Each structure stands twice: as structure tokens, then as C-alpha cells.
């Protein structure tokens, strides 16, 4: 069975100390955002190595992996999906199937690293020339990871020098209660600024007084010191 083979392959690279560290780092305790997640202690390069070895696994196996209780098994599935989606030889039907699998199982894409390695490459890429309504629906979801997917997916747009949807979703998330959203929004605003400082500043001048401190700090991290101080003291 492929699931067992993948588990055994991951287990070759498992490290108990690393697993224990990740149980804390990814907030897996009661009431925390990663509650109940289980780590084998496999570093990301090794997860990618396993994903490459099992790159041809079928959609049913991918879905079962996405539903696994083990973090690294879900990550293997996502890396396979990203790689499959991104292949130059993949056709529109293949990409749509990967996207639909992702959206249908997004409840299992439930930690920030899983979102960040996948949402831009699958959701952002797929929606780039399509209707973006689902991103706005996700941005208003009660589920933390839906909201993180909504802003992180726009990283793909930013890389194409298209900022409208990033800025619009960022405004929607200004009053979000979660620190992980503050960090993601600030990061995406910073990425906008790397490409067009005027676009970022136009947003900041209107909104910076409403922004959570963490979001603002992330957004202005690369600004000159005097400009950072202007926003921080404003």
C-alpha cells in the first residue's frame, strides 16, 4: 500500500528531538492553533525528497495523505500537488484537478507552513486569470487557515506585479484577531513594496493607523529607518 510505503520512507529521516521541537514550535498543544498535529520530525528537504520519489501517486492516495494525522504526510501530498501543478507538461485539466483536490481538502491544510508552501503555487496560479470570488469568501471565513490561504494565494499575483487583490484582501483582514494573519498580511504588503514602494505606501498612508502592530512591523521591515519610525510613531 502506497501510504505505508510513504510513511516508511519518511520514517527513515525521522528525528525524535526535531519532532519534539516542532510539537512546540507549531503550537500543537490544547487550545493552540495546531492542536493535535503529530510530527515525525522530518526536515523539509527530506519531505521534498520523499515527494519526488512518489511523484506519480494517484489522486485517491493524495487525498488520503491530506487526511493523515501526521504533518509530514500531509506535506508530502502538498509538495506532490505543487510539483504536478507546476510541470510545464501539465495540461489545464490536470491543474484544475489539483486545484479542486486542494480546495476540497483545505480543512487539512491546517498549519502555516502547509499553507505557505502550497497556496501561491496552486490557488494563486490557478486563479490568476480567473474569477477571484473564492479568495474573498475565504478571507471572511471563520477558519484561520482559509483566511491565510486567501492572502498567501496572492503571492503569485504579486510575483506577476499585480497588486490589486493583495491590497483589497489585506484591507479585509486589517481587523483580524489572529497573529498568524497579521504576519501573513504584513509579509505580502512587504512583497508588494519590494516591487512597487509607491503602491505599498499608498495603502499604508490610508490604513497604517488601523493596522495591528505586528502587521505594520512586517510591512515596513525593509523601509529606511526614518520612514519606519514615521509609521511606528504615527
pLDDT band at 178 (very low <50, low <70, confident <90, very high): very high
pLDDT band at 8 (very low <50, low <70, confident <90, very high): very high
Residue 231, pLDDT score: 95
pLDDT band at 58 (very low <50, low <70, confident <90, very high): very high
Residue 1, pLDDT score: 79
The CATH topology of domain 1-121 is 1.25.10
Residue 97, pLDDT score: 97
Residue 153, pLDDT score: 98
Helix orientation angle between 164-172 and 144-152, rounded to the nearest 10 degrees: 160
- Percentage of residues in the chain having pLDDT higher than 70: 100
Tell me whether domains 1-121 and 128-234 share a fold: yes
94 vs 83: CA distance, rounded Å: 12
**Nearest 5°: phi and psi at 114?**
-65, -40
pLDDT higher than 90, residue 37: yes
**Residue-averaged pLDDT of the chain:** 97
Q: 128-234: which CATH architecture? A: Alpha Horseshoe (1.25)
Segments making up each domain of the chain, as ranges: 1-121, 128-234
Contacts of 42 (CB under 8 A, 6+ apart): 10, 13, 14, 15, 18, 50, 72
pLDDT band at 190 (very low <50, low <70, confident <90, very high): very high
Judged by DSSP in three states, 63 sits in helix
Q: Which of 166, 153, 139, 74 is nearest to 111 (CA)?
A: 74
pLDDT higher than 80, residue 234: no
Q: How many CA atoms lie within 13 A of 6 on its CB side?
A: 30
Residue 210, pLDDT score: 94
Q: How many CA atoms lie within 13 A of 45 on its CB side?
A: 0
DSSP string, 138-201: HHT-SSHHHHHHHHHTTHHHHHTT--HHHHHHHHHTTT-S-HHHHHHHHHHHHHHHHH-HHHHH
**Residue written as grid cell 501517486:** 57
59 vs 111: CA distance, rounded Å: 22
**Residue written as grid cell 509607491:** 198
* Contact indicator for 115, 145 with CB cutoff of 8 Å: yes
Residue 160, pLDDT score: 98
pLDDT band at 3 (very low <50, low <70, confident <90, very high): very high
77 vs 55: CA distance, rounded Å: 9
* Contact indicator for 71, 38 with CB cutoff of 8 Å: yes
Over residues 93-108, mean pLDDT:
97
Over residues 144-170, mean pLDDT:
98
Amino acid at each position: 500500500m502506497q501510504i505505508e510505503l510513504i510513511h516508511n520512507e519518511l520514517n527513515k529521516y525521522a528525528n525524535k528531538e526535531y519532532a519534539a521541537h516542532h510539537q512546540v514550535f507549531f503550537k500543537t498543544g490544547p487550545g493552540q492553533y495546531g492542536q493535535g498535529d503529530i510530527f515525525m520530525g522530518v526536515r523539509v528537504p527530506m519531505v521534498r525528497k520523499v515527494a519526488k520519489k512518489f511523484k506519480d501517486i494517484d489522486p485517491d492516495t493524495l487525498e488520503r495523505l491530506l487526511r493523515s494525522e501526521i504533518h509530514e504526510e500531509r506535506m508530502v501530498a502538498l509538495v506532490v500537488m505543487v510539483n504536478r501543478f507546476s510541470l510545464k507538461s501539465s495540461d489545464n485539466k490536470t491543474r484544475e484537478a489539483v486545484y479542486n483536490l486542494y480546495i476540497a481538502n483545505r480543512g487539512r491544510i491546517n498549519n502555516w507552513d502547509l499553507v505557505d508552501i502550497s497556496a501561491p503555487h496552486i490557488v494563486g496560479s490557478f486563479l490568476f486569470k480567473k474569477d477571484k470570488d473564492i479568495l474573498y469568501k475565504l478571507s471572511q471565513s471563520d477558519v484561520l487557515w482559509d483566511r491565510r490561504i486567501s492572502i498567501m494565494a496572492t503571492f503569485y499575483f504579486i510575483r506577476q506585479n499585480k497588486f490589486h487583490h493583495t491590497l483589497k484582501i489585506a484591507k479585509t483582514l486589517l481587523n483580524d484577531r489572529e497573529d498568524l494573519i497579521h504576519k501573513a498580511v504584513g509579509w505580502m504588503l512587504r512583497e508588494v513594496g519590494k516591487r512597487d514602494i509607491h503602491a505599498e505606501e499608498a495603502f499604508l498612508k490610508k490604513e497604517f493607523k488601523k493596522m495591528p502592530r505586528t502587521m505594520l512591523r512586517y510591512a515596513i521591515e525593509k523601509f529606511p529607518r526614518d520612514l519606519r519610525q514615521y509609521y511606528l510613531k504615527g
